[in-house]
Structure 1
């Protein structure tokens, strides 16, 4: 199996909405973004699948060394071998790849967040910086596109947090800011015990509106000159925004189930957004 095939399998097996955006890219950009996504999956799996904290930390140190060697022209892991040709071609900064690992390490350091500012910092490392890297691969030409990519990454991560409240609680994690749980009088024990309530719905409606505002801010920030190049991000935005709306329509019943879109619906949303060039989505969300 070649390094590119390894990354392709990693992306396809994940079932992520990101995979649908990759399908429409030219071959070189598709290989680059697939390698980047596989890198993110590898380091994320360290935290999700390695149950001994000390072992997980050692593995993240190993991945840091892999990033350092990548920029020295040496690669061992197939993901890094697949990523190597694209580092210089797309100007991918070493510190941003390391920032992704920082985000995974934050999951080992804490399972609660006091404020939105604290959570936003985590979201930047988990997804905002991935947005910045992705925008380069897609073909960024305007500086303002970085603001779009960063905000869109935050919107994606907050959507994931809203969707995964129940799954995260089963792992002993609550990403929703403690200050906001207190504001809506939702106890952590209620979330850990999967107790749905009107207070919980109010809390989740607040989080959803924050995510909606991030989508709106991202769309407003995207320059027209880069809209065509950034269509893969707009495809993902169409899918993630539809998921966010689906969760809200279901009254945020996320404590005991994981709400998702069907593969055919994801593909339809991706195709429709690609064909329209993302103009309709930008108009709709950027109002």
Structure 2
């Protein structure tokens, strides 16, 4: 993919771990990797940066529509414009991002994960998608992409544990309700 997204950017600042992960990738992949990182972090931040759930829902919906418009070269946001080119280059199905947007939508307002299967599905819809895109850009085959998705879901679960205190202080409970009841 031609350089369509700058690197480093606000989502991969110099000195950060994501900066070095992208920096040591093959030069031909850096722009695409920086792009998907910017997209992922921009959308993932919506539930945390919008205090009004209505505004957060509208913003998320706008991004979802913007990604759909990007496939038709009708997007307005620079990240979405570049995502349109990436989607076509990687021949991603039209509904590829739908589970991701659905999972982020569930993070708006008070989060309530009911059971382990619900948490696992959430981690697959968020972390696995990001890892799959990284693997796809790197030229991974189907087996490698499957492994990347498993790793991405696991890394998202690690983030859940890492951010547990912050999330609980902000009415975001990612630990399954049935697990909390078992350990009362």
TM over 0.5: yes
C-alpha contact 2:124 2:149 (8 A) present in aligned 1: yes
C-alpha contact 2:8 2:19 (8 A) present in aligned 1: no
- Shift of residue 114 of structure 1? 1.5
| C-alpha distance in structure 1 between counterparts of 2:8 and 2:126, whole Å | 21
Partner secondary structure for residue 88 of structure 2: helix
Residues 109/95 of structure 1: CA separation in 2 closer, same or farther (3 Å cut): farther
Considering only aligned residues, what root-mean-square deviation do their CA atoms show, in Å?
A: 2.2
Structure 2 gap ranges (5+): none
| C-alpha distance in structure 2 between counterparts of 1:47 and 1:170, whole Å | 14
- Shift of residue 86 of structure 1? 2.3
C-alpha contact 1:96 1:133 (8 A) present in aligned 2: no
Number of the residue aligned with 1:70: 70
Whether 1:139 and 2:139 are equivalent positions in the alignment is: yes
| C-alpha distance in structure 1 between counterparts of 2:109 and 2:152, whole Å | 22
- Shift of residue 15 of structure 1? 7.3
| C-alpha distance in structure 2 between counterparts of 1:16 and 1:130, whole Å | 18
Name the structure where helix makes up a greater proportion of residues: 1
Number of the residue aligned with 1:165: 164
C-alpha contact 1:3 1:78 (8 A) present in aligned 2: no
Deviations 1:121-165 (A, max 9, x none): 111111112222221111112x22232011101111011011111
Number of the residue aligned with 2:181: 182
C-alpha contact 2:8 2:14 (8 A) present in aligned 1: no
Number of the residue aligned with 1:4: 5
Partner secondary structure for residue 146 of structure 1: helix
Number of residue pairs aligned between Structure 1 and Structure 2: 182
| C-alpha distance in structure 1 between counterparts of 2:15 and 2:127, whole Å | 17
Structure 1 gap ranges (5+): 186-287
- Shift of residue 113 of structure 1? 1.2
C-alpha contact 1:43 1:63 (8 A) present in aligned 2: yes
- Shift of residue 45 of structure 1? 2.0
- Shift of residue 3 of structure 1? 6.0
- Shift of residue 88 of structure 1? 2.4
TM-score normalised per structure 1: 0.58
Rg larger in structure: 1
C-alpha contact 1:91 1:136 (8 A) present in aligned 2: no
Number of the residue aligned with 1:95: 95
Correspondences of 1:260-271 after superposition (within 5 Å)? none
